[in-house]
Chain A
Amino acid sequence: MTATPLVALVGNPNAGKTSLFNALTGARQKVGNYPGVTVERKIGRWTAGDGFTVDLIDLPGTYSLDPRSPDEAVTRNVVMGKQAGERRPDVILAVVDATNLDNHLRFILQLKALGLPLVVALNMIDLAERDALVIDTARLEERLGVPVIPTVAVRKRGLAEIAATVSQLLADRHSPEPLLTSAADEADEAAHDPAAVRELQREAREIAAYATLSEGQARRWSHALDGLTLHPVLGPILLALILFVMFQAVFAWAEAPMAMIDGMVVFLQNQVAAVLPGGWLRSLLVDGVLAGVGAVVVFLPQIIILFFFILLLEQSGYMVRAAFLMDRIMARVGLTGRGFIPLLSSFACAVPGIMATRTIEDPKDRLTTILIAPLMTCSARLPVYAVIIAAFIPDRSVGFGIGLQGLTLFALYLSGIVGALVAAFVLRRTVTKGVSHGFLMEMPKYQLPRLRDLLLGLWQRAWIFLRRAGTIILASTMVLWLLLSFPKPPADADRPALDYSVAGQIAHGLAVVLKPIGFNEEISLALIPAMAAREVAVSALGTVYSLQGNEDAVSQSLVDRLRGAWPLPTALAFLAWFVFAPQCISTLAITRRETNSWRWPAFMLAYLFALAYVAAGVTFWSATALGL
């Protein structure tokens, strides 16, 4: 065999697996997906001295080989050599948390039964030492019958020893072993047998007790911190405070870089316009590609900042505490605290939020969370809200230093959240009906987040986002450009060119449906390109009102133009529409991928449009009745 050996990194969640992966592979990682399932596949090149080079694959954390979620199923399938698109690993590198031995050892015993060469990294040994917990590695090795190496992944302790041991195992292996498959099948069977699992658990506890020379003081720091973060009164206040700071930062810090990206897009548009002669190619590049992709890429700073906070909260261990605090509220509408984390991500963008639902084990719980994720006010709605609020909501104080404009924005966010809770409540009793499986989650000890892990995580998110902008979004903006540009108006056209296009004709039809809720024909037309991404509605309105000049001038004068063109009830209805409307092809595409069917994105589209229509209608009618 000439292929680079494959080493699988496995372990319980919270054992420090990702830190070890980052420490071993550095930045040489590739993030992809397994074919057919939506589980992230992370692989990296691990090199050490003496020409030691292997491929290291970071498998999703799991407690056992009896999977409860798609992530866990991948781990099981890979170590058993049953995962499509993945070779069977040559060696398993299992990470255990030294401070949680009795629990993590059971999984080691299960892995050992697979018959593959196995190395155990006894991780976070420094934390064990701090707790005065003394573990005898030799005794562990004696009872487990596999090499055990103490490590501190975050400080790169023990890494050379792991490389040496793995390299030894690779040299010793005699390939291929026919016995392995039956061993895997047996191990698989045992993993599904509750009695066998409990037996294994007892054995693990017994081994842990034998190897633990001194019990020490368990997690004093974590318990003390929990006293504050989980306090019945202070805990929720702290959570609200953290969320407040987070959202402030997302909007305040992102302003400058967003303006820069915007400037760059305009600069590129001008460059292209200067170089290319007028014609369809220039229009495609300037109005289609650059305007469309630019409109999405401009949100990169906000997404990076939001993910910075989310990764920080996740790596520190706080996120589970937030889920704990939120579980009760989520339970009222039939969800669990676990759903809080993806929903929080959805405030940046529903796409990563929906991807984050993979950690929810219960399929109906997960589906409900996916369906309500688009109701969280994502950053793409902000430009729309900003323009309409600036045009129609007077900039005055309502007392206590609270501005009416800010209050309106807050009300829009709140409507989304309340709408999501109501939607979840209804969905859980109808479409996604089923028993709730409760809320069971390990609460890991607190840890200082590591800059390296944080930056690598951020880089991966940013890359996924940009890749999407370069593929799905690029393609959809080009299609929209086609719809908006063709057919060309006749020579004696007396109406804007848009009116003659395919999109314009669709808008005529739409206007009939949208008229009762106060939308005029210009709005109908703007809603079509806004299907690609919500914020496109703003630039589309600008185009429809045939304005010219650079982007800043567009939104400046657009505010004035709208003020003259729309009655207030129409503006309010437009805002209400955007709270609910599923105007984002990317969200629908990711829903299709995550649910593996067209049924759920179709349902999402239908129910959100229905909600948007009713909400806009009610707003328009009541505002009109009130004489606004």
Chain B
Amino acid sequence: MNINKPSGANEPAVRADQLPRRKPAKITAVDWQILDAAARQRLQEFGVDEGVAIELMHSGPMGGDPLALRIGRMVVAVRRAQAAAIRVKVNEAS
């Protein structure tokens, strides 16, 4: 399946809210500063960090918000606005 942003050295990373469904990916970076303190803390507690596995499992029924993201072994509900802070890269092999 075609992923809109193939990996490349200078390629801008895909954001978690742009992830295709059921494509395992890895977190490459997190823009912590665009999140408010509460969201930052919760996402950290959910294990969001560079190098952690991430996958879009489901999106909400109306307008595709919120998202159900698998982070490591845990699934969390996150709104698109917060998911946008997470930069990801889809795994090659999948």
Task: Name A's B-contacting residues (CB within 8 A).
Answer: 63-64, 66, 68, 99-103, 106, 194, 197-198, 201-202, 205, 218-219, 222-223, 226-227, 230-233, 235-236, 320, 323-325, 327-329, 331, 337, 361-362, 435, 437-443
Contacts and interface: CB of A to CB of B under 8 A. Distances in A.
B72 A103 contact: yes
Contact of B76 (A106, A331, A337, A440): A440
Contact of B60 (A233, A325, A361, A443): A325
Q: Secondary structure at chain B's binding surface: helix, strand, loop or mixed?
A: mixed
Given A439-B66, A440-B79, A443-B77, 4 more contacts: A205-B72, A232-B61, A324-B68, A440-B43
Nearest to B52: A205
A235 B61 contact: yes
B60 to A, nearest CB: 5
Interface stretch (B1-9, B10-18, B33-41, B86-94): B33-41
Contacts of A102: 47, 72-73
Contacts of A361: 38
What 10 pairs between A and B have smallest CB-CB spacing?
Answer: A63-B45, A230-B58, A443-B75, A328-B62, A440-B42, A232-B61, A441-B77, A438-B79, A437-B38, A103-B47
8 contacts: A101-B73, A103-B46, A194-B40, A194-B41, A226-B68, A439-B77, A442-B46, A443-B77
A521 B72 CA distance: 66
B12 to A, nearest CB: 24
A100 B46 CA distance: 11
B73 A100 contact: yes
Nearest to B58: A230
Nearest to A440: B42
Of A106, A198, A205, A324, most buried by chain B (CB within 10 Å of CB) is A324
Given A226-B57, A362-B38, A443-B68, A327 B79 contact: yes
Contacts of B76: 440-443
Contacts of B57: 223, 226, 230
A106 B46 CA distance: 10
Interface residues of B, number: 35
B43 to A, nearest CB: 7
A232 B41 CA distance: 29
A101 B43 CA distance: 16
Contact of A439 (B36, B43, B78): B78
Interface of B: 32, 36, 38-47, 49, 52, 57-63, 65-66, 68, 70, 72-79, 81-82
A226 B65 contact: no
Contact of A218 (B44, B66, B73): B73
Nearest to A215: B73
A201 B40 CA distance: 14
Given A201-B44, A337-B77, A443-B75, A328 B58 contact: no
Contacts of B81: 438
B65 A327 contact: yes
B31 to A, nearest CB: 14
Contacts of A439: 66, 77-79
Contacts of A226: 57-58, 68, 75
A329 B77 contact: no
B44 to A, nearest CB: 6
B73 A103 contact: yes
Contacts of B60: 232, 324-325, 327-328
Contacts of A100: 72-74
Given A226-B68, A328-B66, A438 B39 contact: yes
A194 B63 CA distance: 33
Contacts of A362: 38
Nearest to A99: B73
Contact of A435 (B36, B70, B72): B36
Contacts of B45: 63-64, 103, 106, 197
A116 B62 CA distance: 48
Contacts of A64: 41, 45
A102 B49 CA distance: 12
B77 A323 contact: yes
Contacts of A437: 36, 38-39
Contacts of B77: 320, 323-324, 327, 337, 439-443
A144 B62 CA distance: 44
A440 B46 contact: yes
B63 to A, nearest CB: 6
Nearest to B75: A443
Contacts of A227: 58
A128 B14 CA distance: 32
Contact of A194 (B44, B58, B66): B44
A337 B77 CA distance: 10
A325 B39 contact: no
B17 to A, nearest CB: 12
Nearest to A441: B77
B40 to A, nearest CB: 7
Nearest to A362: B38
Contact of A68 (B38, B63, B66, B75): B38
Of B43, B66, B68, most buried by chain A (CB within 10 Å of CB) is B66
